[in-house]
Structure 1
């Protein structure tokens, strides 16, 4: 009996070790797109508020990042690595392609700031070079035959509007037209405010691909976000007025230009 118990304990231990190892290995990529007006609402209301570049895009989703994930869909975290030679990574041709779908949204952000951040935070976990990482982002974006995911939403009647809301299932169905067959995607939402219990803002849409970024796959259910409940009314907000820059406030108060 003791031998049998010992055997089962060893089996359980081996399974736990296998799961632990698998959870540290990249198995897929998450192509995370964000709705710019919602990103700017979050940025404007942060503990240390920031501002977005204007005009804020409202006819396209912008890429947040390409995140290597384990087989359950959980994003990986990795130790910091030395930066590559950015001049070799961001050639003029590559930078122009990235800017078309992966623009910096923060005011005063340099063109490549977000790209470098995403490589340092997520890209290094994919087991490839920076050149491969960014070329894979371009490759995945090119798999959207209508050019931008928002075009798939728009053709299904899902548009940016401060007076219209949509069911989660309808948004997902519109997104699934990207694929040859229905695949699971992730939606992330944020509350509109503390009092609104019926409507929420769409924040991000995540499509999943194989590790090489050559074909779309279903996003694993284990890591599916829960912030967009099935019964909620989801809105794609228009850009909101942003807080004025600090220098503008001082200029108005002091009656002089301090920029």
Structure 2
């Protein structure tokens, strides 16, 4: 492939108690650390979510309360996981919209701030939807010519995602306008949008200015609504959203 890595990419996949990115918990996590040399190593472990696993979730990934009863909580593994991810860009399948925000909130509950401004996010799921709208199983069939065995096992899913992304890069690298750097790929797989905060309360416009993406001021520059931002500081938002709000308010008062 033409894109040359300058640092590792950590592919992540989560099995969870549900699909609520802010409140559901991890029951299994797999990290596949892909090195610029082309070598990779996968680590996978179950996690005690400290809340019951709904039957519907168990039906998807096969993990029950009994399976995680003696496993460590996320809080116990959080520090080591942060160290594992340090210095890596992050990739996955639909990870921009699910795995990364949910993992961010798990870190936050454990007392750690996972600063997503320090890494690039590459979503093989979005790349697949842009080029060939399908699911992970269909991606494996389309790009690799085989069936995905043991689907919804975190380790099987994430290693399949790595294989799919490598096949995607090889397939599309000569297309006009296709990304040629990791930075371009991260932007491309998020539909051309630079990530502001993981919950999507802010977006960037074409000039790089932060725009409110919810509420009565949606679509307006955030800096023009300081009263609304000060209300946000008193309300219930995620830690990275608070950080952006604080930054904008501080810049406003510094200018004035």
With structure 1 as the length reference, what TM-score do the two structures score? 0.27
Structure with a larger share of its residues in helix = 2
Could you say which structure has the larger radius of gyration?
A: 1
With structure 2 as the length reference, what TM-score do the two structures score? 0.27
